[in-house]
């Protein structure tokens, strides 16, 4: 897979902005086993039959907040204003939150079944090679042609479309401006600052802390560090643990409540957290850092379980998220980007927030931003992170 998405190229044709969502972020590395056997290419796939003949039930591995029954950020594109949930009923959908990308992949490898899963771009190759998912029939997705071509390419493997891109966003440090000296908030090294010991919370995100440490040690490629760089990153994270209050695992269960109460002042976060905490505490008291080393970034989307009994329902569900109206709702509700290239800047209600988060900027995912990509030695990353937590 291409190791770099050229955001300028695929955004230059429109003033494109995308959606946003209340989710736990993406791009972690924990509990993964590498699978080097890629499935053979069989060309485009086609799912026939009648949707009425399928079980009216989908089991979905999803980031918290994306559940179709609980957010306006989902419409059914063929029937404007009618959501998938309205059409088929909330009881037709069952969601599971396993925690992060690697935990989901490990769970499915261990036998857990899902009709749909919502992994991020760095994991497309892992899923496609695993034999646990099947490609989409893009002719069943009316909005597919509106998606950014380079994002679509990231979802192809052996000529088949295994992943349908939907949402993108940044990962950075959220901090309290009334508690943290702005002079200290210029770099990812704020996570290591002893001045704020006991008020810092790093995400328990597997590869993510290692990638951050990789930035600070000057690793040549934070997604493919050498053994020597990984050893240095490990030592760096063990040092960080001395000032860290806790590794958060739930965005809404432990991180946001601790930040809102003032228990922590510095945390790993996503744009929706900046919006949520700004609304709760006042934007004069919170800031979303633009680190000198560059923000992290991700693009996430859907894969379809190979054993689903309802592939037509799965396609219709994905369409209900990638259609234009759903993507407009996303950005207006939560401040993330989307894969829909047709959304115009004039459709965004909060222009100030859109500017803050670079939504609509043709260079939004260009360096120095570090867009997540496939980690070939992911097993080493997960082992080291487990050792850091156990130290």
Residue range 170-296+376-390, CATH number: 3.40.190.10
**pLDDT confidence of residue 79:** 43
Q: Tell me the C-alpha distance between 385 and 364, whole Å.
A: 29
Q: Quick one: how far is CA 33 from the chain centroid?
A: 20
Please answer whether residues 115 and 59 qualify as being in contact, where contact means their C-beta atoms are separated by less than 8 angstroms. Answer: yes
Non-local (6+) Cβ contacts of 80 within 8 A are 325
pLDDT score for 69: 62
User: In the chain, which segments carry CATH 3.40.190.10?
Assistant: 18-165+298-347, 170-296+376-390
List, for residues 119-167, the tens digit of each pLDDT value.
Answer: 999 999 999 999 999 999 999 999 999 998 989 999 999 999 999 999 9
Render pLDDT for 21-73 as a digit per residue (tens, 0 to 9).
323 344 443 332 333 344 444 557 889 889 999 999 999 999 887 887 655 55
Strand-pair category, 160-161 with 133-134: unpaired
* Cα distances (Å, whole numbers) of residue 14 to 149, 198, 261, 300: 13, 45, 41, 21
Question: In angstroms, rounded to a whole number, what is the distance separating the alpha carbons of residues 230 and 281?
Answer: 38
Which pTM was predicted?
A: 0.81
Q: Specify whether domain 18-165+298-347 bears CATH 3.40.190.10.
A: yes
Phi-psi region of 81 (alpha: psi -120 to 50; beta: other; left: phi over 0): left
Place of tokens 């999803």: 62
- What is the tens place of the pLDDT at every residue in 169-207? 999 999 999 999 999 999 999 999 999 999 999 999 888
Query: Tokens representing 208?
Result: 């993510």
Q: How far apart are the first and last CA of the chain?
A: 35
Query: What is the C-alpha to C-alpha distance for residues 289 and 145, in angstroms, rounded to an integer?
Result: 35
Tens-place pLDDT, residues 330-373: 788 778 888 998 888 788 888 887 888 787 777 888 899 999 99
Closest C-alpha among 246, 242, 213, 221 to residue 122 = 221
The residues with which 161 forms a beta bridge, in sequence order, are 156
Structure tokens at 157: 């493997």
CB contact at 8 A, 324 and 340: yes
């Amino acid at each position: 897979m291409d190791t770099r998405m050229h955001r300028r190229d695929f955004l230059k044709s429109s003033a494109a902005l995308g959606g946003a969502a209340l989710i736990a972020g993406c791009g972690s590395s924990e509990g993964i086993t590498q699978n080097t056997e890629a499935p053979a290419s069989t060309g485009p796939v086609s799912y026939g039959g009648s949707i009425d003949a399928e079980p009216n039930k989908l089991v979905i591995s999803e980031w918290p907040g994306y559940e179709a029954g609980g957010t306006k950020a989902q419409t059914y594109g063929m029937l404007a204003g009618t959501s998938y949930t309205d059409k088929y009923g909330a009881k037709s959908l069952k969601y599971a939150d396993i925690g992060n990308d690697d935990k989901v992949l490990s769970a499915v490898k261990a036998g857990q079944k899902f009709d749909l899963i919502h992994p991020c771009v760095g994991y497309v190759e892992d899923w496609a090679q695993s034999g646990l998912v099947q490609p989409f029939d893009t002719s069943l997705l009316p909005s597919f042609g509106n998606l950014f071509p380079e994002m679509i390419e990231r979802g192809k493997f052996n000529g088949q479309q295994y992943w349908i891109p939907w949402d993108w966003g940044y990962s950075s440090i959220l901090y309290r401006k009334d508690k943290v000296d702005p002079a200290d908030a210029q770099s990812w090294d704020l996570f290591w600052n002893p001045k704020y010991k006991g008020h810092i919370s790093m995400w328990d995100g597997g590869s993510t802390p290692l990638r951050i440490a990789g930035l600070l040690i000057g690793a040549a490629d934070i997604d493919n560090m050498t053994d020597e760089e990984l050893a240095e990153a490990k030592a760096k994270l063990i040092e960080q643990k001395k000032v860290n209050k806790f590794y958060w695992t739930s965005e809404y269960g432990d991180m946001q409540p601790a930040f809102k109460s003032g228990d922590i002042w510095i945390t790993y976060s996503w744009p929706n957290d900046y919006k949520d905490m700004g609304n709760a505490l006042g934007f004069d008291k919170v800031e979303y850092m633009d680190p000198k080393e560059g923000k992290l970034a991700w693009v996430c989307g859907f894969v379809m379980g190979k054993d689903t009994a309802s592939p037509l329902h799965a396609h219709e569900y994905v369409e209900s998220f990638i259609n234009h109206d759903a993507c407009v709702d996303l950005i207006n509700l939560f401040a993330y980007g989307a894969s829909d290239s047709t959304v115009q800047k004039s459709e965004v209600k909060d222009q100030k927030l859109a500017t803050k988060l670079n939504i609509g900027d043709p260079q939004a995912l260009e360096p120095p931003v570090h867009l997540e990509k496939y980690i070939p030695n992911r097993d080493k990353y997960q082992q080291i992170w487990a050792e850091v937590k156990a130290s």
